[in-house]
Amino acid sequence: MVHRWNHATPPRLTVAPGDTVTFKCADSSGWQVRPDWTAADFKARFDPLQVHALTGPVAIDGAEPGDILEIKIEAYQHHGWAWTSLIPGLGLLPEDFPENHLFIWKLDEAHTRSFPGVTLDLHPFAGIIGVQRAEAGEFRTRAPGAFGGNLDVRHLTAGTTLHLPVFTQGAGVLTGDCHAAQGDGEVCINGMEAPMDVTLTFNLRKQKPLAGPYAIFPGGFTPARYASKPWHLFIESDENPREACKRAVRRAIAFIVDRLGVTPAMAYTLCSVVLDLKVSQLVNVPTTTITAYLPEAIFDRV
């Protein structure tokens, strides 16, 4: 388990193109957060410098700069629990939520009913899949780049093939930061952070330059059950796209508080794992329109 990108880190395993590897991944905290933790535990004991915990690196024999590494995502297997936190100063709405908050999810195979009044479908994926960077030295894992990394693309689910440019001998694949579910935006700073087993198959395309991450996704942009009922759309426009996002999420939080009678912190937590933020238009310069999508199907009662 490592916590930084560093191409000087020796591989833990070297495999041939065509081989399949299962990565045993801790949750993003590196086994710090436990299923019995409270918000007080999180505030007192959580060390953000241990985020993100990654498994690897795995070298692919023959991979060299200029190649494309094809990563077929075969399967994810969660361990039955996950967590979502609010951390002062982080997330989309730090000014609204200055206190620590922690929610522990109990996961069934494909659903969770941990949140009061709600049933959520799981769509597990790795928030981080990447290869070692070209630059020498240690780098924090938060920022993604051409090497992949902390992309948090929730459609990197089983069945997707991710293509990454190779920057170092052997490529040096690392993965982790697995989420059992996440909304597009991950607005509170976390999805459902979960320990998970990640199975990947590797292939090489020799000397085929690639500008940045590219993926082939088999489809099903939302869980099929969510398409069975209408969606609630919170639409905001602003010259500053981030301000439009904030207003849309605040409206979704207010809707959830009114609908379920939960606290704003709990509603914000729910938004982070199921609310999808999308750019609706960029053409009406200088205004951007952001739409937040909340599925009615998650609610247990009308």
Instruction: Going residue by residue through the chain, which has 302 residues, state the pLDDT in tens, using 9 for 90 and above.
Output: 999 999 999 999 999 999 999 999 999 999 999 999 999 999 999 999 999 999 999 999 999 999 999 999 999 999 999 999 999 999 999 999 999 999 999 999 999 999 999 999 999 999 999 999 999 999 999 999 999 999 999 999 999 999 999 999 999 999 999 999 999 999 999 999 999 999 999 999 999 999 999 999 999 999 999 999 999 999 999 999 999 999 999 999 999 999 999 999 999 999 999 999 999 999 999 999 999 999 999 999 98
pLDDT at 276: 98
Angle (CA) 169 174 180, round 5°: 155
Condensed to tens digits (0 to 9), the pLDDT of residues 72-114 reads 999 999 999 999 999 999 999 999 999 999 999 999 999 999 9
Task: Give SS3 for 152.
Answer: coil
Are the C-beta atoms of 146 and 71 separated by less than 8 Å?
Answer: no
- Type of residue found at 75: A
The predicted structure's pLDDT at residue 171 = 98
User: Which of 234, 137, 121 has its CA nearest to residue 187?
Assistant: 234
CATH of the domain at 17: 2.60.120.580
Last residue of a domain, one of 216, 244, 273: 216
Q: What is the pLDDT of residues 126-166, one digit of tens each?
A: 999 999 999 999 999 999 999 999 999 999 999 999 999 99
Asked if 153 and 40 sit in the same domain, the reply is yes
Indicate the residue among 157, 189, 216 that finishes a domain: 216
Round to whole Å and give the CA distance between 126 and 122: 13
Q: Is 277 helix (H, G, I), strand (E, B) or coil?
A: strand
Q: What is the C-alpha R_g of the chain?
A: 19
Looking at residue 35, its amino acid is P
Q: Indicate whether 260 and 144 sit together in one domain.
A: no
Structural domain boundaries, residue 276: 224-298
Structural domain includes residue 3: no
Does residue 5 form part of some domain? no
The last residue of one of the domains, among 181, 216, 251, is 216
Tell whether 142 and 102 lie within a shared domain: yes
Q: What is the pLDDT of residue 302?
A: 80
241-260 and 264-274 helices, crossing angle to 10°: 120
Q: Residue 146 domain-assigned? A: yes
CA distance linking residue 280 with residue 282, whole number of Å: 7
Q: Domain of 249: which CATH number?
A: 3.10.28.20
Q: How far is the C-alpha of 198 from the C-alpha of 73, rounded, in Å? A: 8
> According to the model, what pLDDT value does residue 293 have?
98
Nearest-angstrom CA–CA distance, 21 and 13? 9
209 neighbors 165 (Cβ within 8 angstroms):
yes
Give per-residue burial for 85-105: e unless 16+ CB within 10 Å, then b: bbbeeebbbeeebeebbbbbb
74, with CB counted inside 10 A (0-12, 13-18, 19+), is middle
Whole-angstrom distance, CA of residue 275 vs CA of residue 232: 10
E-strand ranges in 212-263 read: 214-216, 231-238
